[in-house]
Amino acid sequence: MRLRNGEGRYGALAQLFHWSTVALVIALLAIAAYMTDLPLGPEKIQIYNLHKSLGVIVLALTLLRLVWRWISPPPPLPAGMADWEHRAAQASHLLLYLLLFAQPLTGIVHSWSANFPVVIFGTLTLPNLTGPNPGLKEILEETHHLMGWALCGLFLIHAGAALRHHFQLKDDVLRRMLP
């Protein structure tokens, strides 16, 4: 098992970052769908804190992924791919990374502006850098919600493209990210 990315496949660390992020994003979307309709009480606060903690982990993983991508560049896309497919792959990866940064950041700043602490797994409280700000809270609440849907849609497009490569085009695009 190779740690670094090679010419034809992703290394173990890139795969770990990728699949951990996938699992966390799925968990975050499921938790978000569940938590919004809970009545105010201890369970809702506990679930929101779990959501925030996992979001901070996604933010940290995304930073680590980008550092690793710089240290160990990804394998090139298959040579036979059309130019539009290369551009679409680059654009979707860029958008995924932007959303994986922006989504947790808007959630964190939304919490601060709503005057709720961001406590990571009940142990580490992030310092509130904004303080209460009702106007900012309203903007970020809607932004966080819309970006969640955008991330979900882009996630489905990304997975669909990988499955298309595997089943229809029969190339190694999906296999190179599998352990």
Q: Does the pLDDT of residue 1 top 80, yes or no?
A: no
Mean pLDDT of all residues in 92-110: 97
Classify residue 5: in a domain, yes or no.
no
| Over residues 67-86, mean pLDDT | 92
Give the per-residue pLDDT at 89: 93
Enter the pTM of the model: 0.93
Indicate left, alpha or beta for 122 from its phi (over 0: left) and psi (-120 to 50: alpha): left
- Distance from C-alpha of 53 to C-alpha of 59, rounded to nearest angstrom: 10
7 lies in some domain: no
Q: Does the residue 6 lie in any domain?
A: no
pLDDT, residue 139, reads 97
> Is residue 81 predicted with pLDDT exceeding 90?
no
What's the pLDDT tens digit per position in 146-173?
999 999 999 999 999 999 999 999 998 9
Contact between 116 and 99 (Cβ < 8 Å): no
> Mean pLDDT over residues 57-62, rounded?
98
In-domain check, residue 155: yes
pLDDT band at 78 (very low <50, low <70, confident <90, very high): confident
**Mean pLDDT of the region 84-88:** 93
Give me the pLDDT at residue 80, please: 85
- Is residue 41 domain-resident? yes
> Which CATH number does the domain housing residue 47 bear?
1.20.950.20
> How far is Cα 175 from Cα 179, in angstroms, rounded to an integer?
8
What's 92's DSSP letter?
A: H
Q: Is residue 74 part of a domain?
A: yes
- CB count within 10 Å of CB 73 equals 11
**99 belongs to a structural domain:** yes
Range of the domain at 106: 12-177
Amino acid in position 122: G
Residue 153 structure tokens: 């849609």
Say how many domains are in the chain: 1
Instruction: Return mean pLDDT, the chain.
Output: 95
Residue 157 maps to a domain: yes
Q: How far is CA 89 from the centre of its chain?
A: 16
